[in-house]
Amino acid sequence: MGLIVGGFGTAHLVMKRGTAGEAGERVFAGMKEIGRRIRALAPDRVIIVSSDHFYNFRIGDDSAFSIAAEDVHIPFGDMHLPKDPFVGDAKFAGDFAAYCSDRAVPVCAMRDYLPDHGVVIPALLISGGSPIPIIPLITNTALEPAPSLQQGWELGGLIRSFVAEERPQDERVVVVGTGGLSHWLAVADMGKVNSDFDYRIMDELTGAHPENLLSMSPAEILAEGGNGGLEVVNWLIMAGALPGSPGERVYYEAIPEWVTGMGGIELFNKEINAL
């Protein structure tokens, strides 16, 4: 059986250095620290949970969750990010999609997926020059209504059981939920950041109380965290893969200049810590 050795939540957007002063530098340092911690766990596979930013999905696409079934990922290249290919695992992705289908949870196995900044920025932080296979799991937060936190939590539970039941003995897997926290994009409140919302998400997850978030509806998240705040479902997928696991906040800054509450956390696998 495989084992999920760690879980992380992190923002997946950065702007040009020097545009947010010392707060921006602390975010860069925090994101690098998350990359360092992931590498220290020596994972064999990393699942990056992100949202698509209309580079692959289109309005009207009805798949709530998709997984990129590719052995090599070629980035889209948005935000002037490099298009250097990075390693995936088509079998892992395809097997997980089938595993979910067998349990009446539709997860679409995507071909020809072009990772955007939501996957590429975390992947660059993680790699450190090492070709760790990365499996992008994509949520469609453009759906109306968007996937709920409850749905995300349940999908995380399927990641956990899939790794334990179907993956090779001693395979080490890290799950990274990305995006958020609060931000309003292309709407009247663009630039607003709600730190109370951001701290609530991080504190409930690191305090091992994600159940306190599951009743939040997409409408509530839109009101309190903005349309970009819907991406916190990605963090709940990560937390669902490590139920009951405590953690710590690695970084947080409210940065209106980057129109986002920028945060990062680590959850510790309680089973490993109990050994």
Query: Percent of the chain having pLDDT more than 70?
Result: 93
Mean pLDDT score across all residues of the chain: 90
The DSSP 8-state label assigned to residue 112 in this structure reads: S
What is the structure's pLDDT at 191?
67
pLDDT by 10s per residue, the chain, length 275: 899 999 999 997 776 776 778 988 999 999 999 999 999 999 999 999 999 877 676 655 678 999 999 999 998 887 788 899 999 999 999 999 999 999 999 999 998 889 998 899 989 988 776 789 999 999 998 877 889 999 999 999 999 999 999 999 999 999 999 998 998 876 667 768 999 999 999 999 999 999 999 999 989 999 999 988 899 999 999 999 999 999 999 999 999 888 789 999 999 997 775 54
For the chain, report the end-to-end CA distance as a whole number of angstroms: 17
Q: Are strands 260-268 and 3-10 parallel, antiparallel or unpaired?
A: antiparallel
All structural domains of the chain, each given as residue ranges with its CATH number in brackets, are 3-59+140-274 (3.40.830.10)
Total residues belonging to the chain: 275
Give the ranges where 70-229 is alpha helix by DSSP (H): 90-102, 117-127, 149-166, 195-206, 218-225
Residues 36-61 have pLDDT tens digits of 999 999 999 999 999 987 767 665 56
| Six-digit token string for 224 | 């309190």
Q: How far apart are CA 208 and CA 25, in angstroms?
A: 29
Of 271, 252, 251, 189, nearest in space to 226 by CA: 189
Q: How far apart are CA 41 and CA 48, in angstroms?
A: 15
- CB within 8 Å of 209: residues ≥ 6 apart: none
The DSSP 8-state label assigned to residue 275 in this structure reads: -
Question: CA distances (Å), 65 to each of 36, 154, 185, 237, in order?
Answer: 28, 12, 22, 11
pTM: 0.93
| Six-digit token string for 231 | 């991406």
